[in-house]
């Protein structure tokens, strides 16, 4: 039997995109019992492919749904095609995941297809999307504000978790599909919910497309041709986006433990359209996909790229973006401010707050070790400095104890803080020091300090006050600050 549907499916399957599906391949066809899926199963079988069928019973339409399942069973028995039936509960999934029934049905259907593919060892899954489905998808994505990717509609072939998802009928028309089944004297089932125009796809199919076809009978064809052009444009732009992404990224994070950092100056040099794609790609890198990324999120990042240092934007899933000196940083780790904690009492023998006493027999020193549940804590010991070069470590410092009043504290900054920055006791406001060091404004409130009153002895991870420097014969306090908050960790000392 010759038919235009067979010719179109054959040409599609022989196309470049289907190179990974050679003639005679084993294919798992999703069969609902409707005209499209029945045509898919029979035509692939007629073209010589080894076809197995899977029917997903959604638990939605009661007796009608059971009749669809019985119809598919009977048809597969008559055609000698192996069938797997998978019952699911779409209403429960909709309630569990707070989805519409339509979305939940799609979710559980895909899950059932993937699980059946794994169970049978079939790596090619075919679905019955055709030209009208393509036009509906493009229009739906257009009106809900999709990106260029969405305007390309349904791909004829795509990979998902090591499987190939194929749409052999993507260039077929619905009228031809039904004509093919009539010629073969094969009936099909009709889903009564297809008439419910409260569902978006049904409204597009039954209201919007007929109106467009009144204006131009070739409107569906033209929409799908545009989708094909946009898919090719998207492929080329994806290559450009990926290349630019690699060029601008300084530190490739995962959005959980590692921050993602990009060069703001390089981003500014990008054409606007390409830059927006790269910014979207950055968010997707941290999110693990683009599902919840809106245009507003990309626009917020664009403002940070062009704006001054110290800007901040909230992104999906507790992700935060910061504009800093020369960089754009995406992180989930934002440090909390450290409450003031006394390191030593006046007699210098005990530590309060985040540290606990630790005995040290045979030593004149008193030592304290951080409690394990603290995110920012200190370990302190005492010694007499014997001279020589002071070790240069970021999170351990030797502070002259003879020159300071009792009871230094571990805290974050407050109004009036200052450093002594010269041997003649010249002062500098802590705020001015942090600005000079190009510390982002939003980080300044979270940097741990060792201080006495307003005198900052040590900006942890940075410099110490001139008055706190040790000298030969001086009593000294060795302080190690452990940072385990806000994405910071003083690994050199742990």
Which tens digits make up the pLDDT trace of 434-490?
Answer: 888 877 776 787 788 888 888 898 998 889 998 888 888 778 888 888 765 444 444
Q: What is the pLDDT of residue 409?
A: 79
Beta strands in 31-139 (DSSP E): 50-57, 83-87, 124-126
pLDDT tens figures, 345-387: 334 333 333 333 333 333 333 333 333 444 566 777 777 888 7
Whether the per-residue pLDDT at 340 is higher than 80: the answer is: no
Count CA atoms within 13 Å of residue 419 on its CB side: 21
User: 301-330: per-residue pLDDT in tens?
Assistant: 999 999 988 788 888 877 888 888 889 999
CA distance 148 to 166: 21
Angle ∠(137,233,217) on CA atoms, nearest 5:
45
Give mean pLDDT, residues 174-184: 94
Q: Which of 16-20, 134-138, 145-149, 454-458 has the highest mean pLDDT?
A: 134-138
- Kindly report each contact of residues 368-377 with a partner whose C-beta sits within 8 Å and lies 24 or more positions away, as own/partner: 370/482, 374/482, 374/484, 375/336, 375/483, 375/484, 375/485, 376/338, 376/410, 376/448, 376/481, 376/482, 376/483, 376/484, 376/485, 377/410, 377/481, 377/482
Rounded to whole angstroms, how far apart are CA atoms 463 and 458? 6
Query: Cα-atom radius of gyration of the chain, to the nearest Å?
Result: 33
Provide the b/e sequence for 98-122 (b: ≥16 CB within 10 Å): ebebbebbebbbbebbeebbeeeeb
Residue 368: predicted pLDDT? 35
Q: Of 3.40.50.720, 3.10.450.50, 3.30.465.60, 3.40.50.261, which CATH number belongs to 252-331? A: 3.30.465.60
CATH number assigned to the domain with residue range 4-229, chosen from the 4 options 3.30.930.10, 1.10.20.10, 3.55.10.10, 3.40.50.620: 3.40.50.620
Statement: residue 172 has pLDDT above 90? yes
Range with lowest mean pLDDT among 15-24, 202-211, 259-268, 388-397: 388-397
The pLDDT value given to residue 494: 30
What pLDDT does 221 receive?
96
pTM over 0.75: no
pLDDT tens digits for 375-431? 566 777 777 888 778 887 888 888 887 666 656 778 888 888 999 988 888 899 999
| Average pLDDT score over residue span 38-47 | 96
Q: How many CA atoms lie within 13 A of 432 on its CB side?
A: 8
C-alpha closest to that of 455 among 445, 447, 441, 465: 465
One fold for 4-229 and 252-331: no
Q: Of all helices (H) and strands (E), which one includes residue 225?
A: helix 219-248
How much is the pLDDT for 483?
65
DSSP string for 331-343: ES--PPPPPPEES
* Model pLDDT, residue 407: 66
Dist. CA 430–CA 437, nearest whole Å: 11
For the segment 7-19, the average pLDDT, to the nearest whole number, is 93
Q: What pLDDT score was predicted for residue 182?
A: 95
Question: What per-residue confidence (pLDDT) applies to 348?
Answer: 39
Per-domain residue ranges for the chain? 4-229, 252-331, 341-493
% of the chain beyond a pLDDT of 70: 86
Average pLDDT of the chain to the nearest whole number: 84
Q: What is the pLDDT of residues 150-168, one digit of tens each?
A: 999 999 999 988 899 999 9
Give percent above pLDDT 90 in the chain: 46
Q: Please tell me the predicted confidence (pLDDT) of residue 349.
A: 34
Q: Is the pLDDT confidence value at 129 over 90?
A: yes
């Amino acid at each position: 039997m010759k038919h235009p549907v067979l010719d179109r499916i054959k040409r599609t399957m022989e196309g470049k995109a289907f190179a990974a599906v050679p003639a005679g391949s084993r294919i798992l066809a999703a069969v609902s019992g409707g005209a499209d899926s029945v045509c898919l199963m029979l035509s692939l079988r007629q073209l010589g492919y080894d076809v197995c069928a899977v029917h997903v019973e959604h638990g939605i339409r009661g007796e009608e749904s059971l009749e669809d399942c019985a119809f598919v069973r009977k048809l597969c028995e008559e055609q000698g095609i192996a069938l797997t039936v998978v019952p699911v509960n779409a209403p429960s999934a909709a309630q569990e995941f707070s989805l519409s029934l339509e979305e939940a049905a799609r979710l559980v259907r895909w899950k059932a297809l993937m699980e059946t593919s794994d169970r049978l060892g079939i790596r090619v899954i075919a679905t019955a999307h055709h030209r009208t489905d393509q036009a509906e998808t493009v229009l739906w994505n257009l009106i809900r504000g999709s990106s260029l990717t969405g305007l390309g509609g349904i791909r004829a072939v795509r990979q998902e978790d090591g499987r190939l998802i194929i749409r052999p009928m993507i260039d077929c028309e619905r009228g031809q599909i039904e004509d093919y089944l009539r010629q073969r004297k094969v009936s099909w089932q009709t889903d009564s919910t297809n008439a419910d125009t409260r569902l978006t796809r049904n409204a597009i199919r039954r209201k919007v497309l007929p109106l467009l076809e009144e204006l131009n009978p070739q409107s569906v064809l033209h929409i799908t041709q545009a989708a094909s052009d946009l898919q090719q444009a998207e492929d080329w732009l994806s290559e450009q986006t990926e290349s630019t992404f690699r060029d601008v990224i300084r530190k490739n994070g995962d959005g959980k433990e590692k921050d993602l950092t990009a060069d703001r100056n390089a981003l500014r040099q990008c054409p606007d359209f390409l830059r927006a794609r790269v910014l979207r790609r950055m968010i997707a890198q941290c999110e693990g996909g683009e599902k919840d990324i809106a245009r507003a999120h990309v626009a917020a990042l664009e403002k940070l790229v062009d704006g001054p240092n110290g800007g901040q934007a909230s992104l999906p899933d507790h992700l935060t973006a910061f504009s800093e000196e020369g960089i754009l940083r995406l992180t989930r780790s934002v440090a909390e401010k450290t409450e003031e904690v006394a390191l030593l009492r006046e007699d210098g023998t005990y530590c309060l707050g985040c540290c606990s006493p630790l005995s040290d027999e045979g030593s004149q020193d008193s030592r304290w070790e951080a409690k394990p549940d603290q995110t920012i804590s200190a370990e302190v010991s005492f010694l007499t400095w014997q001279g020589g070069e002071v070790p240069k470590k970021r999170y351990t410092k030797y502070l002259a104890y003879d020159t300071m009043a009792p009871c230094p504290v571990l805290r974050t900054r407050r109004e009036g803080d200052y450093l002594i920055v010269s041997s003649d006791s010249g002062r500098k406001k802590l705020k001015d020091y942090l600005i000079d060091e190009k510390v982002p404004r939003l980080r300044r409130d979270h940097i741990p300090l060792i201080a006495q009153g307003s005198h900052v002895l040590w900006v942890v991870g940075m410099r110490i006050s001139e008055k706190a420097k040790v000298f030969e014969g001086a009593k000294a306090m060795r302080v190690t600050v452990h940072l385990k908050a806000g994405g910071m960790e003083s690994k050199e000392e742990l």
